[in-house]
Structure 1
Protein backbone atom coordinates (compact mmCIF):
# COMPACT_ATOMS: atom_id res chain seq x y z
CA UNK A 1 0.00 0.00 0.00
CA UNK A 2 1.22 3.52 -0.73
CA UNK A 3 0.59 6.14 1.94
CA UNK A 4 0.42 9.88 1.17
CA UNK A 5 0.77 12.86 3.49
CA UNK A 6 1.04 16.59 2.96
CA UNK A 7 3.10 18.29 5.64
CA UNK A 8 2.65 22.00 6.29
CA UNK A 9 4.11 24.44 8.75
CA UNK A 10 5.66 27.83 9.32
CA UNK A 11 8.77 28.78 7.38
CA UNK A 12 11.13 28.02 10.25
CA UNK A 13 13.23 25.23 11.72
CA UNK A 14 10.16 23.40 13.07
CA UNK A 15 9.00 22.58 9.53
CA UNK A 16 12.46 21.31 8.59
CA UNK A 17 12.53 19.12 11.71
CA UNK A 18 9.05 17.73 10.93
CA UNK A 19 10.09 16.85 7.38
CA UNK A 20 13.45 15.42 8.49
CA UNK A 21 11.71 13.17 11.04
CA UNK A 22 9.39 11.82 8.34
CA UNK A 23 12.28 11.17 5.93
CA UNK A 24 14.11 9.27 8.66
CA UNK A 25 11.01 7.07 9.14
CA UNK A 26 11.21 6.01 5.49
CA UNK A 27 8.94 8.59 3.83
CA UNK A 28 10.05 10.06 0.47
CA UNK A 29 9.54 13.50 -1.05
CA UNK A 30 6.77 13.59 -3.65
CA UNK A 31 6.71 16.53 -6.05
CA UNK A 32 7.90 20.05 -5.43
CA UNK A 33 7.60 21.95 -2.16
CA UNK A 34 5.17 24.84 -1.83
CA UNK A 35 5.71 28.21 -0.25
CA UNK A 36 2.90 30.67 0.43
CA UNK A 37 2.05 33.77 2.41
CA UNK A 38 -0.55 33.34 5.16
CA UNK A 39 -2.26 36.73 5.34
CA UNK A 40 -4.14 35.91 8.54
CA UNK A 41 -0.96 34.99 10.43
CA UNK A 42 1.18 37.42 8.38
CA UNK A 43 3.82 34.72 7.90
CA UNK A 44 5.22 32.47 5.20
CA UNK A 45 4.14 28.79 5.22
CA UNK A 46 5.81 25.73 3.70
CA UNK A 47 4.30 22.52 2.37
CA UNK A 48 5.67 19.24 1.04
CA UNK A 49 3.96 16.06 -0.11
CA UNK A 50 5.55 12.79 1.02
CA UNK A 51 4.81 9.13 0.24
CA UNK A 52 5.73 5.76 1.74
CA UNK A 53 5.16 2.19 0.56
CA UNK A 54 4.10 -0.19 3.35
CA UNK A 55 3.76 -3.93 2.80
CA UNK A 56 1.32 -6.14 4.69
CA UNK A 57 -0.99 -3.34 5.81
CA UNK A 58 -4.44 -2.62 4.42
CA UNK A 59 -5.64 0.98 4.22
CA UNK A 60 -8.32 2.19 6.61
CA UNK A 61 -9.65 5.78 6.89
CA UNK A 62 -9.03 5.79 10.65
CA UNK A 63 -5.29 5.04 10.28
CA UNK A 64 -2.90 7.58 11.77
CA UNK A 65 -0.56 7.88 8.79
CA UNK A 66 2.23 9.48 10.80
CA UNK A 67 2.62 6.25 12.78
CA UNK A 68 3.99 4.42 9.73
Structure 2
Protein backbone atom coordinates (compact mmCIF):
# COMPACT_ATOMS: atom_id res chain seq x y z
CA UNK A 1 0.00 0.00 0.00
CA UNK A 2 2.82 2.40 0.87
CA UNK A 3 4.48 1.96 -2.51
CA UNK A 4 1.13 2.50 -4.25
CA UNK A 5 0.91 5.85 -2.45
CA UNK A 6 4.42 6.81 -3.57
CA UNK A 7 6.15 6.21 -0.24
CA UNK A 8 9.45 4.47 0.35
CA UNK A 9 8.79 1.42 2.54
CA UNK A 10 11.30 0.38 5.21
CA UNK A 11 11.02 -3.14 6.66
CA UNK A 12 11.87 -2.87 10.35
CA UNK A 13 12.79 -5.65 12.78
CA UNK A 14 14.43 -7.96 10.23
CA UNK A 15 16.29 -10.66 12.16
CA UNK A 16 16.82 -13.52 9.69
CA UNK A 17 17.83 -14.01 6.06
CA UNK A 18 14.47 -15.72 5.50
CA UNK A 19 12.61 -12.61 6.69
CA UNK A 20 14.76 -10.41 4.46
CA UNK A 21 14.14 -12.61 1.42
CA UNK A 22 10.37 -12.77 1.99
CA UNK A 23 10.13 -9.00 2.44
CA UNK A 24 12.24 -8.45 -0.68
CA UNK A 25 9.91 -10.75 -2.66
CA UNK A 26 6.92 -8.59 -1.71
CA UNK A 27 8.72 -5.41 -2.74
CA UNK A 28 10.60 -3.99 0.23
CA UNK A 29 13.86 -2.33 -0.75
CA UNK A 30 15.05 -0.92 2.59
CA UNK A 31 15.61 -3.04 5.69
CA UNK A 32 16.75 -2.64 9.29
CA UNK A 33 17.04 -4.91 12.27
CA UNK A 34 19.37 -7.20 14.20
CA UNK A 35 20.32 -9.00 10.99
CA UNK A 36 22.27 -5.89 10.01
CA UNK A 37 23.53 -4.78 13.41
CA UNK A 38 22.68 -4.53 17.07
CA UNK A 39 22.11 -1.19 18.83
CA UNK A 40 25.40 0.56 19.61
CA UNK A 41 26.81 3.67 21.24
CA UNK A 42 27.12 6.77 19.07
CA UNK A 43 30.94 6.68 19.19
CA UNK A 44 30.95 3.05 18.04
CA UNK A 45 28.55 3.90 15.23
CA UNK A 46 30.77 6.73 14.03
CA UNK A 47 33.78 4.43 14.01
CA UNK A 48 31.87 1.76 12.07
CA UNK A 49 30.79 4.30 9.45
CA UNK A 50 34.40 5.44 9.01
CA UNK A 51 35.63 1.86 8.52
CA UNK A 52 32.87 1.01 6.05
CA UNK A 53 33.39 4.26 4.10
CA UNK A 54 37.06 3.35 3.66
CA UNK A 55 36.10 -0.14 2.45
CA UNK A 56 33.29 0.93 0.10
CA UNK A 57 34.37 4.38 -1.01
CA UNK A 58 33.11 7.78 0.15
CA UNK A 59 29.89 7.99 -1.92
CA UNK A 60 28.67 4.41 -1.67
CA UNK A 61 25.60 3.11 0.14
CA UNK A 62 25.62 -0.63 0.81
CA UNK A 63 22.33 -2.31 -0.10
CA UNK A 64 21.12 -5.79 -0.69
CA UNK A 65 21.09 -9.08 1.09
CA UNK A 66 23.50 -9.31 4.04
CA UNK A 67 25.99 -12.12 4.47
Task: Indicate the TM-score class for this superposition, using the shorter chain for normalisation.
Answer: 0.3 to 0.5
Larger strand fraction of residues:
1
Larger helix fraction of residues:
2
**TM-score scaled by structure 1?**
0.32
Name which structure has the greater RCO, CA cutoff 8 Å, separation 6+.
Answer: 1
